[in-house]
Amino acid sequence: MDKPTWQKKIINGSEVAVQFDLKSQEWFNGFSDNQILTGKLAGVRKPRSIKQLRLYWVACGIVSENNRIGLFAKEQVDFYIRNRLNFFDTDKTVVMPGGNVIFYPRSIAMHNLEHIEASDYFTRSFQVMAEILECTVEEFMDAIWRE
Alpha helices in 1-147 (DSSP H): 22-28, 47-66, 74-84, 115-132, 137-146
In order along its 147 residues, the chain shows pLDDT tens digits of 456 677 777 778 888 777 766 777 777 788 888 888 777 766 655 555 788 888 999 999 999 999 999 999 999 999 999 999 999 999 999 999 999 999 999 999 877 887 788 889 999 999 999 999 999 999 999 999 887
Residue 42 · residue 5 · CB < 8 Å = no
pTM of the model: 0.66
